[in-house]
Structure 1
Amino acid sequence: MLSAARLAPRIDALLPQTQCTQCGYEGCRPYADAIAAGEAAINRCPPGGSAGVEALAQLLNRPVLPLDPSCGDFNGFHLAVIEEKHCIGCTLCITACPVDAIIGANKRMHTVLEDWCTGCELCLPACPVDCITMIPAGRDWQRNDADVARQRHQASQARRQRLRQASLQAPALPPAPAAQTAAAAPAAEGGGAETRKRAVIADVLARARARRGADAASGSDTP
């Protein structure tokens, strides 16, 4: 009998690699590790569908189970699309995407790279102005898609880890001179820069939502 360490990669190879977290784990590999350790059932992956459950059951010599409805449904492969005229450039969707399929810069419109999108939907709750929708991809998610998505996810994780390490290793800034500290005191007493920043963000979001509502009311909003 294979050990959990040797079994997990084989389980991971059968998962769709959408990294959607619907299974309750942080991605496909953590879910595979949990299955291999006997800590998770094989029917918690909606994107894999019944075919995925059957493949896992065959590999592990376990009975086939119906998909766990508590993990959600999957109605075919969908792609995320950003309504660019409503995008405020907050970059939150870029941070949420597990495969770096969204490009853009701060305060600039973002765009989804369709060839990279896994349809995980993690960008939807991250968007503060609800300008991301899911549309049918017009095709099925294939094993080659899964293999490429795994590579992109691993590359994204490695890049983010490097950034975290660089941030931790960055030298601390020297303390501000007393004159600067004194000059900043009135701003702190009046609420501080952070409070003003939050107020500006709240105003931008409010105006973006109002614009979106006006477009919808006039019938000019596009799906």
Structure 2
Amino acid sequence: MTVKAERAHAAPVPKATSPFPVTATVSRTLAERIEDLLPQTQCTKCGYPACRPYAEAIAAGEANYNQCPPGGAQGIARLAALLDKPVIPLDTTHGEERARPLAVIDENVCIGCTLCMQACPVDAIAGAAKQMHTVIAELCTGCDLCVPPCPVDCIAMVPVTGPRTGWDAWSQEEADAARARHDRRMTRLERERAAAEARANARQASRSQAESKAQEKPEAPAAQDDPEAKKRAIIQAALERARKKKEEMASLGAGPKNTEHVSTDVQAQIDAAEARRRRLGLTDGENASHPGDGERSANVNAKNQRHE
């Protein structure tokens, strides 16, 4: 292809409005520039939960720039150049510079507990609950975080870079890929956490609503659905009819009949009923004994004495 043809296929370049070249730049914070120089193993050996918090601590003057064992001496030199500070030795209280290791799972011992998967900061372990797990070698950063939670001690950290340590055992492309996987994992975990919290809130609201309904006074069951209520309604209706009949007789001046020839058993029942009414406090005009009841009782008693 000729030069003219290449230019024909090239995108048109807008004419500059100024005779001076203009370069577009994106302003980045110091913490972001520091993070770019870290190996992104997310190993937490620096004392922070990930590379990003460590970078922010360095930028804020809260942490020293020699606390990253995976970066090693070359990592310290990179940070010192950015910060315009002297190169200092690695703080070995955070670990030693070493060859990059690879996590290896003994598949014959693994019980599928998923604890190593939960600990891996870059999703480099594949598996499922109660199933064998395995490490994806190309993704492992050698952070060691999967080793402590393993309950059967089936994970070994095997050096895979020979004498090469620090940045000699790692590359900027691998660091960038590890950071991208870590960021995706954090986003996923946050999404799952929010979903779990929403489900928990929904369950709590449902329980609160159920408890509120339970505390409300239940409605009385309908008489036709409650045998006891139906029985009480029948008795009440019978008592009401008797009361009205008694009122009608009293209005006509008709007193009780057969007061002289009442048997002993019947009189005992009458006396028991009167006693019950007195115990229940039913001594009002409607429930009081009829004026003739005393005379009737006296006649029955006299008759019983004659028979004796």
Q: What range describes the TM-score normalised by the shorter chain of this pair?
A: 0.7 to 0.9
Please give the alpha-carbon distance, in whole angstroms, between the structure 2 residues aligned to 1:97 and 1:74: 21
Where in structure 2 are the equivalents of 1:43-122 lying within 5 Å? 43-122=66-145
What residue number does 1:172 align with? Answer: 203
Q: Which amino acid is 2:198 matched to?
A: Q
Task: Give, in whole Å, the separation in 2 of the partners of 1:41 and 1:29.
Answer: 14
User: Which residue number in structure 2 is paired with residue 11 of structure 1?
Assistant: 34
The structure showing larger relative contact order (alpha-carbon pairs under 8 Å, at least 6 residues apart) is 1
Report what 1:221 is aligned to.
Answer: none
SS in 2 for 1:134: strand
| 2:170 corresponds to 1:141 | yes
Matched position secondary structure for 1:166 = helix
What is the root-mean-square deviation of aligned Cα atoms in Å?
1.5
Deviation at 1:64, TM superposition (A): 1.2
Aligned with 1:155 (options 180, 184, 195): 184
Q: Letter of the aligned partner of 1:145 in structure 2?
A: E
Aligned residue in 1 for 2:264: none
Q: Which amino acid aligns with 1:161?
A: E
Cα distance in 1, alignment partners of residues 128 and 80 from structure 2: 44
* In 2, Cα distance between equivalents of 1:108 and 1:138: 30
Residue 105 of structure 1: how far off its partner (Å): 0.7
**Residues 23-48 of structure 1 deviation map (CA, whole Å, 9 limit, x = unaligned):** 00001100000000011000000000
CA distance, structure 1, for counterparts of residue 148 and residue 97 of structure 2: 17
Distance in 1 of aligned mates of 2:131 and 2:49: 29
Q: Aligned residue pairs: how many?
A: 172
Deviations 1:123-172 (A, max 9, x none): 00011111000112237211110000000000000000000000011121
Give a deviation string over 1:71-101, Cα, whole Å, max 9, x none: 0113111110100110011100000000010
Match for 1:24 among 33, 47, 50? 47
SS at match of 1:85: coil
Give the structure 2 partner of residue 214 of structure 1.
none
**1:96 corresponds to which letter in structure 2?**
A
Q: In the aligned structure 2, how far is the partner of 1:84 from the partner of 1:9?
A: 39
Identity rate of aligned residues, in percent? 56
TM-score by length of structure 1 reads 0.74
The one-letter amino acid of 1:133's match is A
SS of 2:33's equivalent in the other structure is helix
Structure 1 unaligned runs (5+)? 178-223
User: Structure 1 residue aligned with 2:62, among 39, 44, 50?
Assistant: 39
- Where does structure 2 lack aligned partners over 5 or more consecutive residues? 1-27, 163-168, 211-308
SS at match of 2:177: helix
**TM-score, normalised by the number of residues in structure 2:** 0.54
Query: Computing the radius of gyration over CA atoms, which structure comes out larger, 1 or 2?
Result: 2
